[in-house]
Structure 1
Amino acid sequence: MINSILLKEYATVYQAQVVDLILHIQQNEYNIAITKEDQPDLLDIENFYQHGNGNFWVALSEDEVVGTVALLDIGNHKTALRKMFVKQNYRGKALNVSNQLLQYAIEWAKERSVEGIYLGTTPQFVAAHRFYEKNGFVSIALDELPIGFPVMKVDKKFYKYTIQ
């Protein structure tokens, strides 16, 4: 039985589970040719994400990491939404893990006077595109991204969320 979901700020104790979750989804579910070495941020989450207007959170079900989301501070009151992943059997409206993670990150950013959240994603993540659009993200062109936005080699579709 799946119990309630707890959202927590990332701590090193979760690193192995975070890496395993993200790599499993990228490689096995979406057949993306990406490795842990291609994502050095996963090996140094505290220094990469947890400063300024950036942070990293995990969704836990009985101490098991079942979801992640991060905001990367890219300067000028803007952040990049990164590492939004939810374990397959925790997706959907029943548990609402994705929505909880996203809303938590948006509220956290709002409290810090962040003006915009940007993200890049792959064409394969069609369900993710619908999810972001339902949550107020607007599709933008590559040249509309702010300076400092880290475009990953797999990112071909981009979104912006304007914080009111």
Structure 2
Amino acid sequence: PKMILLDEPTSALDPKTTCRLLDLVVSLNEKHGITFVVVTHDMDVIKRTCDRVAYLQNGKLDFFGPTHEFFVKIENNEVSDFGKPLELEKGLLSANKKILRVLFWGTRTHEPVLWKIAKENDVMINILYGKIEEFKNGPFGTLIIGVEGEKQDLFVEKLRESVFFLEEVC
């Protein structure tokens, strides 16, 4: 077939069988060009198998696009069904410190972008949270950092040009 519909394909499977099934789906897609439409609530299934996401909310299409862009939307808490935004303790904040959420996509995930720009602008960074996940089409990294220094505005500007997504949290 050119297309296969999978409705909650991993909902009753053990972890080992889940991995084998998802590997099979990706393999069939890549080797034979079969399109899989996967209905799921499992974010790991989306990350491992999907090129694009169609998200329905209240019976209407709320999002359609690349998987990594969907997870930007989730991290922004616009998709309220999947988790809560990271809450930062007020004790982390000071008058001269910025808190940033930085998302990396693809090859930039494994490059020393943060270090280079911090060094060039003589700012101090503190990593408050970080993770890198493997999506079907490449790595996706999330960082929450604190930035201090006289040139922190220039640092933010340069970093924004070098990453997939950046927002000031505080």
Tell me if both proteins adopt one fold, taking TM over 0.5 as the criterion. Answer: no
| More strand by percentage | 2
The normalised TM-score by structure 2 is 0.29
Structure exhibiting the larger radius of gyration computed from Cα positions: 2
